[in-house]
């Protein structure tokens, strides 16, 4: 692509059929969990676990700066040149190639690289939010990396990130960053009503903190389990009465009662006349459903994009 030229539809919104890259997705999921747990172990706790996620960068995903005894550093996934960089403030960066290799091999090399930089960190090596977890240092099952699909994945989340940040600009009340949760492997954005939510009976520490206040969330997920394709999703927690029956847009969006979420197929969006407009209409209409039915103080929470 020439300098100054806008990306084509195929470049910005490439196909990402789950069946064709599921092994790479599963391996990359574990790699991002390892990096995310390093950030978690060294960062001060933030409400709703916002010290946990990764962020979309110009070349992949980044931790953003992490504190350590030596100073700040960050870890970056580069899905263009296919490497992971540890970038310390006090010396040169250390790079690791991304290629078909086991989770155990990636974990071992990354931890050795950190030690070589005098970054000492211990993480819980059991993966989270996945069925049949295997400890990172023992996982030789997940060992696939297809650079073409890793790059497509990054192009999708970078396009979605841009649109969700535009939607985020509509608010003056409390909102989350647009961030990538390595536990569930999804890109998400959350708005808050400003009111505490009823405590969830039997909720674990993570869930209790994540949903301590009323929220409306929207995001993108590459799919998995019963959802065999990439999807946009939206939910309210707690969901007000009538939420699932609310009209939302675009027309191909629907409510999944089993998941308790509105869903919108990524393939439908990327084939639409205007993917950006489709995502914004989904985000806005699902937020409207949560805010109107939940009687949020919208005047104090929102602003018009031009104000």
**How far apart, in whole angstroms, are the C-alpha atoms of residue 177 and residue 180?**
9
Q: Is there a domain that residue 6 lies in?
A: no
Q: Is there a domain that residue 111 lies in?
A: yes
The per-residue pLDDT for 2 is 47
pTM: 0.95
**How far apart, in whole angstroms, are the C-alpha atoms of residue 143 and residue 100?**
6
Residue 109, C-beta contacts closer than 8 angstroms, at least 6 positions apart: 96
The per-residue pLDDT for 306 is 53
Q: Are residues 170 and 115 in the same domain?
A: no
Closest by Cα among 186, 224, 148, 176 to 36: 186
DSSP symbol at 168:
H
**How far apart, in whole angstroms, are the C-alpha atoms of residue 284 and residue 271?**
20
Give the Cβ contact number of residue 134 at 10 Å.
Answer: 17
Of 110, 138, 166, the one marking the end of a domain is: 138
- Beta strands 254-256 and 73-78 are unpaired
**Structural domain boundaries, residue 22:** 16-138
Q: Are residues 197 and 280 in the same domain?
A: yes
Q: Are residues 103 and 231 in the same domain?
A: no
b/e sequence 276-302, b meaning 16+ C-beta within 10 Å = bebbbbbbebbbbbbbebbebeeeebb
pLDDT block averages, 10 residues each, the chain of length 307: 63 96 98 98 95 98 98 98 98 98 98 98 97 97 98 98 98 98 98 94 86 96 95 98 98 97 98 98 98 98 73
Closest by Cα among 13, 143, 145 to 83: 145
Q: What is the largest CA-CA distance in the chain?
A: 56
Of 138, 167, 195, the one marking the end of a domain is: 138
The per-residue pLDDT for 271 is 97
**CA-CA-CA-CA dihedral for 180, 183, 184, 188, to nearest 10:** -30
The per-residue pLDDT for 280 is 98
b/e sequence 167-184, b meaning 16+ C-beta within 10 Å = bbebbeeebbebbbbbbe
For residues 122 and 115, the answer to whether their CB atoms sit within 8 Å is no
For residues 251 and 278, the answer to whether their CB atoms sit within 8 Å is no
Q: Give the count of domains, the chain.
A: 2
The per-residue pLDDT for 4 is 54
Q: Are residues 250 and 212 in the same domain?
A: yes
């Amino acid at each position: 692509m020439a300098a100054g030229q806008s990306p084509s539809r195929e470049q910005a919104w490439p196909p990402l059929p789950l069946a064709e890259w599921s092994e790479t997705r599963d391996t990359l999921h574990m790699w991002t969990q390892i990096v995310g747990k390093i950030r978690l172990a060294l960062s001060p706790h933030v409400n709703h676990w916002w010290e946990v996620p990764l962020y979309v960068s110009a070349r992949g995903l980044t931790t953003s700066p992490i504190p350590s005894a030596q100073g700040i550093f960050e870890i970056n996934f580069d899905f263009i040149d296919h490497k992971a960089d540890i970038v310390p403030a006090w010396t040169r960066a250390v790079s690791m190639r991304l290629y078909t290799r086991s989770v155990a091999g990636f974990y071992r090399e990354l931890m050795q690289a950190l030690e070589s930089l005098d970054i000492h960190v211990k993480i819980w090596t059991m993966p989270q939010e996945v069925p049949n977890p295997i400890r990172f240092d023992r996982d030789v099952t997940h060992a696939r990396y297809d650079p073409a699909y890793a790059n497509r994945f990054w192009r999708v989340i970078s396009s979605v990130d841009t649109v969700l940040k535009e939607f985020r600009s509509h608010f003056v009340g409390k909102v989350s960053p647009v961030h990538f949760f390595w536990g569930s492997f999804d890109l998400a954005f959350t708005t808050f009503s400003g009111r505490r939510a009823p405590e969830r009976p039997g909720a674990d520490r993570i869930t209790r903190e994540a949903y301590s206040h009323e929220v409306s969330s929207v995001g993108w997920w590459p799919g998995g389990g019963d959802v065999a394709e990439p999807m946009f999703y939206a939910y309210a927690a707690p969901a007000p009465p009538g939420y699932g029956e609310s009209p939302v847009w675009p027309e191909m969006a629907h409510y999944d009662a089993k998941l308790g979420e509105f869903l919108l197929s990524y393939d439908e969006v990327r084939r639409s006349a205007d993917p950006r407009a489709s995502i914004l209409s989904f985000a806005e209409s699902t937020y409207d459903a949560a805010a109107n039915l939940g009687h949020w103080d919208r005047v104090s929470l929102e602003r018009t994009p031009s104000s």
